[in-house]
Amino acid sequence: MLSTKMNEVLNRQIQSEFQASYLYLAMSDHCEECNLPGFASWLRTQSEEERGHAMRLFDFLLNREGHVELHQINQPRSAFDSTLEMFESVLQHEKDVTSKIDVAYRAALDEHDNATAVELQWFITEQVEEEKTAGDIVSQLRMVGDDKVALLMVDRDMSKDG
């Protein structure tokens, strides 16, 4: 059974994961409107992945006899001046999610809640991958600069990674 504190921490993390899903879906729409279907596809896949993360925590809470309390999700930003700016935002968002998971993990350790700590280790490992991927995309977009042909080439590659 979860402590009241861990229950609240996990509910906040569920909110964070759903917020990420919503953000990436809005970004996917932005890319569709900019005729960048590769980026749009990749971001839609990320949105689905983040929703999956939320549901993983949702189920974990239920399995530990916790109480799910879905918190409000804010309207995400949906317009960007450039693809680079958008992916810099993705990278920052992933870093923010990592910080929140770190807080949740420390709370699990403080509560001596080994089961939750083990569950959150999966998320910690996942965040290393998420930050690296977002950082790699930002690096590629910085190399592209204002070259629209190069941007279309990266966009095409993104459809393969989606």
Residue (of 124, 12, 4, 3) closest to 58 by Cα position = 12
What is the pLDDT of the chain when averaged over all its residues? 96
What is the predicted pLDDT for the residue at 161?
Answer: 57
Domain ranges of the chain: 4-161
What is the predicted pLDDT for the residue at 15?
Answer: 97
CA distances from 100 to 86, 97, 105, 144, 148 (A): 21, 5, 9, 32, 36
Whether residue 96 has pLDDT greater than 70: yes
Residue 33: Cβ within 10 Å count: 11
CB 107, CB 144: distance < 8 Å: no
Whether residue 59 has pLDDT greater than 90: yes
**12-47 pLDDT, tens digit each:** 999 999 999 999 999 999 999 999 999 999 999 999
CA distances from 89 to 42, 83, 96 (A): 15, 10, 10
Copy the structure tokens of residue 7: 């229950």
> pTM for the full model?
0.93
Eight-state DSSP code of residue 131:
H
**Assigned CATH class of 4-161:** mainly alpha
Whether residue 3 has pLDDT greater than 60: yes
CA distances from 109 to 58, 89, 115, 121, 129 (A): 20, 30, 10, 11, 23
Proportion of the chain above pLDDT 70, given as a percent? 99
What average pLDDT score do residues 135-153 get? 96
